Amino acid sequence: MFWEKLIESVGLLVILILLGVVLRRIGLLRDEHGPLLARLVTQVTLPALIFSALARSTMQWVYLELAGAMLFAETLCLALGWILARAARLGPAQSGAVILTAGFGSSSLLGYPLISALYPDDAPALMQAAVISELGVAPLLFTVGTMIALYYGAHTATNGTTPLRAALKFFYSPIFIALCAGLAWSLAGLPHSGPGLDMLFRGLGQLADANTFLVALTVGVALRFDGLRAILWLALGVAAIKLLLKPLLVWLPAHWIGVSSIELQILLIEATMPSAMLTAVLARSYGCDATLASKLILATSLASIATVVLMLELLAP
């Protein structure tokens, strides 16, 4: 069951990415469409997804502890990604892509389907997964991740914008506004249904549903298969950080605070997911190397088929 769901989820991800590659090769999509797709994600579908997910979340203390463990692990993985980029002597655009893909995982796109398959009737388990993803992954990805993309991408910009000034743009971006609004809605306990609200959340849900497809197309448009051998060691380094070290880094604080076996399994599943496709969107949107990010996403996605089960067997037998 677990293997079947894992292969199905990763396979769907790869198929959608390859669809973007095929559409580019037949001329239906072109390279110049990449920035438009990326803007649609970062300014429309992703803010809708962030707000609707956070506004519907209900906080529990243990969920916040597990989200904190994920934030701890991601911060260290970002630092390890920076060390890897420095050791490989990469330029700013390539460094940004490596740091982003080493730090952030696809907790929503792949994590949710796996957890839903393993715990289909366990509402607390699904809520825990949502909170870990939306508070343990999303805030850092949409704040620090965006600022990393802006900072390293600004080094290659030609409009005179400094990296710091570019990074500060995040604080009036649709992503940040949606993040703050969703958290405020949840903490205030505002309703999700009623006159006008049903239509609002249904519309946001439809926009959010389009996010995965647009992200996959963005990755596919940027993906190039030439030069894969040249980045083999770099891909192995990112995979080691993302797929092997990150689960260990979340296991340590989770073991210390004493969580239940199910809570540990859910946390580890979220931590063992491959690099988030949104990292390629951020790279494309803000001037980092989206082609390199796309190759690293594909590599970690394929490798995760083996490493997810391996790490669960080792850390949550």
Q: Mind giving me the DSSP string for the chain? A: -HHHHHHHHHHHHHHHHHHHHHHHHTTSS-TTHHHHHHHHIIIIIHHHHHHHHHHT----HHHHHHHHHHHHHHHHHHHHHHHHHHHTT--HHHHHHHHHHHH-B-IIIIIHHHHHHHSTT-HHHHHHHHHIIIIIIHHHIIIIIHHHHHHHHHTT-SS---HHHHHHGGGGSHHHHHHHHHHHHHHHT--S-STTHHHHHHHHHHHHHHHHHHHHHHHHHH---TTTGGGHHHHHHHHIIIIIIHHHHHHHHHHHHT--HHHHHHHHHHHT--B-THHHHHHHHHTS-HHHHHHHHHHHHHHHHHHHHHHHHHH--
| Separation between Cα atoms, residue 43 and residue 207, nearest integer Å | 11
User: Do residues 275 and 110 make contact, with C-beta atoms less than 8 angstroms apart?
Assistant: no
pTM: 0.75
| Separation between Cα atoms, residue 309 and residue 313, nearest integer Å | 6
The tokens describing 299, both together, are: 């590599």
Residue 63 is predicted with a pLDDT of 67
| Separation between Cα atoms, residue 292 and residue 156, nearest integer Å | 15
Judge residue 244's burial from the number of C-beta atoms within 10 Å of its C-beta, 0-12 exposed, 13-18 middle, 19 or more buried. middle
Tokens 């689960």 found at: 247
Tell me the domains of the chain and their CATH numbers. Answer: 2-26+36-315 (1.20.1530.20)
List the chain pLDDT tens, one digit each, 317 residues: 666 766 777 677 778 888 988 999 999 988 888 888 878 887 888 788 778 877 876 666 666 787 888 888 999 999 999 999 999 999 999 999 999 999 998 776 666 656 766 666 665 666 677 667 766 777 788 778 888 998 898 765 544 455 556 556 667 778 778 878 887 888 888 888 888 888 999 999 899 888 878 878 887 887 777 777 888 899 999 999 999 999 999 998 887 877 777 788 888 888 998 898 889 888 888 889 988 998 998 889 888 888 888 888 888 76
75 contact partners, CB below 8 Å, separation of at least 6: 103, 140
Residue 59 is predicted with a pLDDT of 60
Residue 158 is predicted with a pLDDT of 47
| Separation between Cα atoms, residue 295 and residue 195, nearest integer Å | 46
180 contact partners, CB below 8 Å, separation of at least 6: none
